[in-house]
Structure 1
């Protein structure tokens, strides 16, 4: 309860930030309303006990509370964070993407490295625990919370996730960490404790049976690894990562993974049919989606373009710390692109990574599984061209043309061109420039 109250306070600061910055014209069109999915937390009366402060652009909401949070959750034999984080050569990497862009596949390039502590979508719990009311400051407020959680995770503070787990862990042990099995680091060595009779996990390890996840052991494993990496589709605005880049304890690199917006929409229509019902009705029945659906598509493309343009412009705080990577290029030349990403990250590639890439990009036993990372990548990445109706592709091209131009995706002039896979829709790009 104490930890949930602390995050209720943090979220109150978010609301205060939104209101104050709105008054100063720093952030436009924001709302002071938010919703907590903590049923036990009573936020009534917080105004009587908490005084809001003005936060600067680079303020961290967790920075002011991290010491008290750690004091509450760390055991008596506390880990010396500063000494550990200053280990020579430790690198930190964020693979930033959106859904259905191949991020799970590309993330495996780092998950398979035994020298890297890799986390798969750790913000999944944050998204489901804390929501902001629609048409408000959702993008701003959620990005701040996401950013500060990521900052703590990069420092191996796994306890920070406990504040967003429902039910809350018992003595730092949980059965509910999302996709634990997608992180080798959480399923190997001392972290893989013997399972107890009668206990079960919602997201168990895939290759071996392990007991419930002990966050203390996970944190110790993180501190013992040479590097830290994570994959997330919930960080959408690069600018919010500036405090992490400027944190002297974190040597951060960011890879923004993108994919042809036409392919992304085609994949989402299959993977999330209920969310994309309007588009499916258009494809099947000719019912044109309303302006709200088109607005979502436009907003997604513009967010991608804004982050990419910021990264490619290489401002001083981000110099040599940003890479734009197209999924199509990875699919066509996975080993070459893996080497490029590892060189950028400043981390040596290992033989186990190379072996995984070779095995998992040459054949396709799991190609029918939408979420499989085992597929013949050079043949799979353009299958959408045979199924997406041209009338939908044409709308995507119209709405997302500036983004497609920046990323080097060619427009299809007609249905024949779209379906002709011998006609490439990719511009050859060795380097990306700001449009």
Structure 2
């Protein structure tokens, strides 16, 4: 058995891994908004081996999910609880029904990807999923379809603690990224900045309520801190979440934060991370920035994002932003611990 994934020419021998007891299992859920860097964060956290990683499991609730329809929260909580408890054989056929479009989502799970190899149908094998999952101490979920308030229901239903990672990004950066995604342009909720900031406001309210009685198992992180200080922020996250920061994790970070993906894949986890927090500036018009700042003023203040206040509405809607430095858009001294 090994404590790191490493490079394997063959599938892991899971029979060497003991079944993880309920007293030692480490359950983690990442909650955030679309285009906030959660694909990178999820992939980063699963580098702590062995981790069973469920990437966007609520994708099966495409039309109706808790972010758009609160009546679905109970079903979502039931599904996520089952996944964190490795109860795949009890899920029924819907979640593991073998359809091609699910493969890219399931293949983010390195524990299963190493086991499946080329036989992609095995991603939908409930027995195999359950067998591997039960031998992974860390159980990780990443979702953009679940809010902090919904997490409270998940926490209550789970028999063992579930740690929350709330990932936040400058709303201007979120909207700039969304405007470039075709799938987002086809969704009114996705391109509506008011909807984005109402959700973030709801998440802040739930976080404040949680703060009153306990900060345990809650970690808040800014996308910008993860980008600008990837090693320092990752060590902070790993320590908070009970993950092991190994040389393999350090190598993964170095390979994924120094240069951009040569294919410019918008879903890639490879980025020149130091440039990412400023990437929205040349892509947004003055009017777009003013709109975000109007709807998200309080949200931005809460998380240390500075308002650009020397802008005038452009009636021709052709003016772009001037160059700004990091300290003009971001409070660089904003402590991660201050976010709670």
Q: TM-score range by the shorter chain?
A: 0.7 to 0.9
Distance across 1 between alignment mates of 2:279 and 2:326: 13
* Residue 308 of structure 2 corresponds to residue 378 of structure 1: no
Distance across 2 between alignment mates of 1:389 and 1:230: 35
2:107 corresponds, among 178, 181, 202, to 181
Structure number with greater Rg is: 1
TM-score after normalising by structure 2: 0.81
The answer for the alignment partner of 1:355 in structure 2 is: 251
TM-fit CA distance, 1:138: 4.7
Q: Does the aligned pair in 2 maintain the 1:194–1:211 contact within 8 Å?
A: no
Stretches of 4+ moved more than 6 A in 1?
none
* Residue 135 of structure 2 corresponds to residue 239 of structure 1: no
SS at match of 1:93: strand
TM-fit CA distance, 1:114: 1.9
Q: Does the aligned pair in 1 maintain the 2:86–2:133 contact within 8 Å?
A: yes
The answer for the alignment partner of 1:432 in structure 2 is: 338
Distance across 2 between alignment mates of 1:371 and 1:225: 26
SS at match of 1:336: helix
Q: Does the aligned pair in 2 maintain the 1:269–1:277 contact within 8 Å?
A: no
Distance across 2 between alignment mates of 1:125 and 1:341: 29
Q: Does the aligned pair in 1 maintain the 2:220–2:339 contact within 8 Å?
A: no
1:422 corresponds, among 316, 325, 334, to 325
1:268 corresponds, among 166, 178, 191, to 178
Q: Does the aligned pair in 2 maintain the 1:85–1:249 contact within 8 Å?
A: no
* Residue 298 of structure 2 corresponds to residue 394 of structure 1: no
* Residue 132 of structure 2 corresponds to residue 221 of structure 1: yes
Structure 2 vs 1, CA of residues 165 and 226 (structure 1 numbering), >3 Å: closer, same or farther? closer
2:58 corresponds, among 123, 136, 139, to 123
Q: Does the aligned pair in 1 maintain the 2:53–2:141 contact within 8 Å?
A: yes
Structure 2 vs 1, CA of residues 214 and 175 (structure 1 numbering), >3 Å: closer, same or farther? farther
SS at match of 2:206: helix
SS at match of 1:396: helix
User: In the TM superposition, what are the counterparts of 1:152-301 in structure 2 within 5 Å?
Assistant: 152-159=82-89, 162-165=92-95, 168-169=97-98, 177-178=102-103, 179-189=105-115, 192=116, 195=119, 213-236=124-147, 238-247=148-157, 249-272=159-182, 275=185, 296-301=192-197
The answer for the alignment partner of 1:140 in structure 2 is: 70
RMSD over aligned Cα, in angstroms?
3.1
TM-fit CA distance, 1:401: 0.6
Structure 2 vs 1, CA of residues 359 and 310 (structure 1 numbering), >3 Å: closer, same or farther? same
1:130-162: per-residue Cα shift (whole Å, max 9, x none)? Answer: x38xxx995311222212211111101224554
Q: Does the aligned pair in 2 maintain the 1:154–1:228 contact within 8 Å?
A: yes
Structure 1, unmatched stretches of 5+, are 1-82, 196-200, 202-209, 279-291
